[in-house]
Amino acid sequence: MGKVKIKKKETRIDVTAMSDVTVLLLTFFMLTSTFLQKEPVTVITPASVSEEKVPDQNLLSVLVSPQGQVFLAVTGSKDYTFKSETVRADLLKNMASEYNKLHPSNPVKFTAKQVEEFSKLGTFGVPMNQMAKWLDMEIDERDKALEKAGIPINMNEDPNNPNEFQMWIRAAYNSMNDELQASMVKGKGIAIKADQTTPYSVVNVVMDNLQTMKMNKFSLMTALKTEEE
Protein backbone atom coordinates (compact mmCIF):
# COMPACT_ATOMS: atom_id res chain seq x y z
CA MET A 1 0.00 0.00 0.00
CA GLY A 2 1.45 3.33 -1.00
CA LYS A 3 2.16 6.12 1.49
CA VAL A 4 -0.17 9.05 1.60
CA LYS A 5 1.73 12.14 0.66
CA ILE A 6 0.91 15.16 2.75
CA LYS A 7 0.98 18.35 0.79
CA LYS A 8 3.56 20.70 2.22
CA LYS A 9 2.36 24.16 3.00
CA GLU A 10 4.59 27.12 2.22
CA THR A 11 5.81 28.92 5.36
CA ARG A 12 5.74 32.61 4.63
CA ILE A 13 5.62 35.61 6.96
CA ASP A 14 4.39 38.89 5.60
CA VAL A 15 6.86 41.56 6.83
CA THR A 16 5.28 44.44 4.94
CA ALA A 17 3.74 45.91 8.09
CA MET A 18 7.04 45.56 9.97
CA SER A 19 8.88 47.39 7.17
CA ASP A 20 6.39 50.23 7.30
CA VAL A 21 6.85 50.59 11.06
CA THR A 22 10.65 50.57 10.68
CA VAL A 23 10.56 53.34 8.08
CA LEU A 24 8.21 55.41 10.24
CA LEU A 25 10.46 55.05 13.30
CA LEU A 26 13.57 55.94 11.27
CA THR A 27 11.84 59.03 9.89
CA PHE A 28 10.72 60.05 13.37
CA PHE A 29 14.24 59.82 14.83
CA MET A 30 15.76 61.67 11.87
CA LEU A 31 13.33 64.57 12.30
CA THR A 32 13.57 64.83 16.08
CA SER A 33 17.26 64.11 16.70
CA THR A 34 19.77 66.89 17.40
CA PHE A 35 23.11 66.23 15.75
CA LEU A 36 26.26 67.26 17.59
CA GLN A 37 28.26 69.88 15.75
CA LYS A 38 32.02 69.72 15.46
CA GLU A 39 33.94 71.81 17.99
CA PRO A 40 36.78 74.01 16.67
CA VAL A 41 39.38 72.34 18.92
CA THR A 42 39.65 68.87 20.41
CA VAL A 43 39.35 69.00 24.19
CA ILE A 44 39.88 66.08 26.60
CA THR A 45 38.47 67.17 29.93
CA PRO A 46 40.21 66.19 33.21
CA ALA A 47 38.73 63.37 35.28
CA SER A 48 36.90 63.88 38.58
CA VAL A 49 34.52 62.05 40.91
CA SER A 50 31.71 64.58 40.48
CA GLU A 51 28.51 63.06 39.10
CA GLU A 52 26.61 66.34 38.75
CA LYS A 53 25.41 66.70 35.18
CA VAL A 54 25.72 69.88 33.17
CA PRO A 55 22.27 70.90 31.84
CA ASP A 56 21.61 70.43 28.14
CA GLN A 57 19.47 73.57 27.83
CA ASN A 58 19.68 77.21 28.90
CA LEU A 59 23.45 76.92 28.94
CA LEU A 60 26.39 79.12 27.96
CA SER A 61 29.43 76.90 27.38
CA VAL A 62 32.96 78.32 27.35
CA LEU A 63 35.45 76.19 25.41
CA VAL A 64 39.13 76.87 26.23
CA SER A 65 41.93 75.42 24.11
CA PRO A 66 45.42 74.62 25.51
CA GLN A 67 46.69 77.63 23.53
CA GLY A 68 44.28 79.98 25.29
CA GLN A 69 41.70 80.34 22.52
CA VAL A 70 38.18 80.92 23.82
CA PHE A 71 34.97 79.87 22.06
CA LEU A 72 31.32 80.03 23.11
CA ALA A 73 28.24 77.90 22.55
CA VAL A 74 24.69 78.80 23.59
CA THR A 75 21.65 76.56 23.90
CA GLY A 76 18.12 77.68 24.65
CA SER A 77 15.23 75.77 26.15
CA LYS A 78 12.96 73.07 24.77
CA ASP A 79 10.16 75.64 24.78
CA TYR A 80 9.57 76.75 21.19
CA THR A 81 9.50 80.41 22.27
CA PHE A 82 13.08 80.26 23.57
CA LYS A 83 14.53 77.56 21.32
CA SER A 84 18.26 77.69 20.65
CA GLU A 85 17.97 79.31 17.21
CA THR A 86 15.84 82.15 18.57
CA VAL A 87 18.15 82.72 21.55
CA ARG A 88 21.28 82.81 19.37
CA ALA A 89 19.75 85.30 16.93
CA ASP A 90 18.79 87.54 19.84
CA LEU A 91 22.28 87.09 21.31
CA LEU A 92 24.00 88.34 18.15
CA LYS A 93 21.76 91.41 18.00
CA ASN A 94 22.46 92.17 21.68
CA MET A 95 26.19 91.71 21.16
CA ALA A 96 26.18 94.05 18.15
CA SER A 97 24.46 96.69 20.29
CA GLU A 98 27.01 96.23 23.11
CA TYR A 99 29.93 96.39 20.67
CA ASN A 100 28.69 99.46 18.80
CA LYS A 101 28.36 101.44 22.04
CA LEU A 102 32.11 101.11 22.57
CA HIS A 103 33.04 101.36 18.88
CA PRO A 104 30.73 104.03 17.42
CA SER A 105 33.27 104.93 14.75
CA ASN A 106 33.47 101.35 13.47
CA PRO A 107 30.06 99.74 14.09
CA VAL A 108 29.12 96.23 13.00
CA LYS A 109 25.96 95.40 11.06
CA PHE A 110 24.43 92.07 10.14
CA THR A 111 22.00 91.12 7.42
CA ALA A 112 19.00 88.89 8.07
CA LYS A 113 20.83 86.02 6.33
CA GLN A 114 23.90 86.45 8.55
CA VAL A 115 21.73 86.45 11.69
CA GLU A 116 20.04 83.27 10.47
CA GLU A 117 23.42 81.62 9.85
CA PHE A 118 24.58 82.57 13.36
CA SER A 119 21.41 81.09 14.88
CA LYS A 120 22.38 77.67 13.49
CA LEU A 121 25.91 77.65 14.95
CA GLY A 122 26.90 75.21 17.64
CA THR A 123 30.15 76.99 18.56
CA PHE A 124 31.46 80.41 17.58
CA GLY A 125 34.50 82.52 18.40
CA VAL A 126 35.85 85.20 16.10
CA PRO A 127 36.43 88.92 16.77
CA MET A 128 33.31 91.00 16.16
CA ASN A 129 34.92 93.05 13.39
CA GLN A 130 35.40 89.76 11.48
CA MET A 131 32.04 88.17 12.33
CA ALA A 132 30.07 89.33 9.27
CA LYS A 133 32.78 88.17 6.85
CA TRP A 134 33.07 84.85 8.72
CA LEU A 135 29.31 84.20 8.54
CA ASP A 136 29.40 84.71 4.75
CA MET A 137 31.99 81.92 4.31
CA GLU A 138 31.19 78.40 3.21
CA ILE A 139 30.96 75.92 6.09
CA ASP A 140 34.36 74.30 5.39
CA GLU A 141 36.10 77.67 5.16
CA ARG A 142 34.31 78.81 8.30
CA ASP A 143 35.54 75.78 10.26
CA LYS A 144 39.16 76.31 9.16
CA ALA A 145 39.03 80.01 10.06
CA LEU A 146 37.52 79.22 13.47
CA GLU A 147 40.39 76.88 14.37
CA LYS A 148 42.81 79.83 14.16
CA ALA A 149 40.52 82.38 15.80
CA GLY A 150 39.07 82.88 19.28
CA ILE A 151 37.14 85.54 21.17
CA PRO A 152 39.41 88.40 22.33
CA ILE A 153 39.94 88.15 26.10
CA ASN A 154 42.45 89.42 28.64
CA MET A 155 42.84 90.04 32.37
CA ASN A 156 40.33 92.86 32.62
CA GLU A 157 38.94 94.11 35.91
CA ASP A 158 37.18 97.20 34.59
CA PRO A 159 33.49 96.41 33.89
CA ASN A 160 33.11 99.85 32.30
CA ASN A 161 35.61 98.91 29.60
CA PRO A 162 34.75 95.26 28.88
CA ASN A 163 36.59 93.08 26.40
CA GLU A 164 34.66 91.10 23.79
CA PHE A 165 34.34 88.00 25.97
CA GLN A 166 32.71 90.05 28.71
CA MET A 167 30.42 91.70 26.18
CA TRP A 168 29.23 88.28 25.01
CA ILE A 169 28.50 87.31 28.61
CA ARG A 170 26.53 90.52 29.14
CA ALA A 171 24.66 90.03 25.85
CA ALA A 172 23.68 86.50 26.88
CA TYR A 173 22.53 87.68 30.30
CA ASN A 174 20.40 90.42 28.72
CA SER A 175 18.82 88.08 26.16
CA MET A 176 15.07 87.67 25.87
CA ASN A 177 15.36 84.21 27.44
CA ASP A 178 14.77 84.89 31.14
CA GLU A 179 15.30 81.18 31.83
CA LEU A 180 18.90 81.47 30.61
CA GLN A 181 19.39 84.57 32.75
CA ALA A 182 18.06 82.80 35.85
CA SER A 183 20.25 79.77 35.10
CA MET A 184 23.36 81.97 34.82
CA VAL A 185 22.60 83.64 38.15
CA LYS A 186 22.22 80.25 39.86
CA GLY A 187 25.55 79.09 38.48
CA LYS A 188 24.07 76.31 36.34
CA GLY A 189 23.94 78.35 33.15
CA ILE A 190 27.69 78.77 32.61
CA ALA A 191 30.08 75.85 32.09
CA ILE A 192 33.80 75.99 31.31
CA LYS A 193 35.26 73.17 29.23
CA ALA A 194 39.04 73.02 29.04
CA ASP A 195 41.57 70.39 28.01
CA GLN A 196 43.33 68.50 30.80
CA THR A 197 46.64 69.89 29.55
CA THR A 198 45.46 73.50 29.54
CA PRO A 199 47.53 75.51 32.05
CA TYR A 200 45.60 76.83 35.04
CA SER A 201 46.74 80.36 34.22
CA VAL A 202 44.83 80.14 30.93
CA VAL A 203 41.61 78.94 32.57
CA ASN A 204 42.08 81.50 35.33
CA VAL A 205 41.81 84.31 32.76
CA VAL A 206 38.32 83.06 31.87
CA MET A 207 37.27 82.72 35.51
CA ASP A 208 38.67 86.17 36.31
CA ASN A 209 36.62 87.70 33.51
CA LEU A 210 33.45 85.97 34.71
CA GLN A 211 34.00 87.20 38.26
CA THR A 212 34.55 90.72 36.95
CA MET A 213 31.05 90.44 35.45
CA LYS A 214 29.73 89.32 38.88
CA MET A 215 29.31 85.78 37.54
CA ASN A 216 30.83 84.04 40.54
CA LYS A 217 29.06 80.71 40.09
CA PHE A 218 29.86 78.43 37.18
CA SER A 219 30.66 74.79 36.43
CA LEU A 220 33.85 73.11 35.23
CA MET A 221 33.21 70.24 32.84
CA THR A 222 35.05 67.04 33.73
CA ALA A 223 35.01 63.37 32.81
CA LEU A 224 34.00 60.80 35.41
CA LYS A 225 36.94 58.90 36.88
CA THR A 226 37.15 55.16 36.27
CA GLU A 227 37.92 52.59 38.98
CA GLU A 228 41.49 52.31 37.66
CA GLU A 229 42.04 56.04 38.15
- Summarize pLDDT for 3-53 with one digit per residue, the tens: 666 666 556 666 666 666 677 776 765 665 554 555 655 656 656 555 667
- H or E segment and range at residue 61: strand 59-64
| 81, 89, 98, 101 from 86: Cα distances, Å | 8, 5, 19, 23
Are 133 and 187 in contact by the 8 Å Cβ rule? The answer is no
Lowest mean pLDDT among 18-22, 68-72, 131-135, 159-163: 18-22
Residue 26 lies in a domain: no
Residue 167 belongs to what domain range?
47-224
Residue 116 lies in a domain: yes
Residue 30 lies in a domain: no
Provide the whole-model pTM.
0.76
Are 187 and 55 in contact by the 8 Å Cβ rule? The answer is no
Separation between Cα atoms, residue 182 and residue 177, nearest integer Å: 9
Domain count, the chain: 1
Are 43 and 69 in contact by the 8 Å Cβ rule? The answer is no
Residue 13 lies in a domain: no
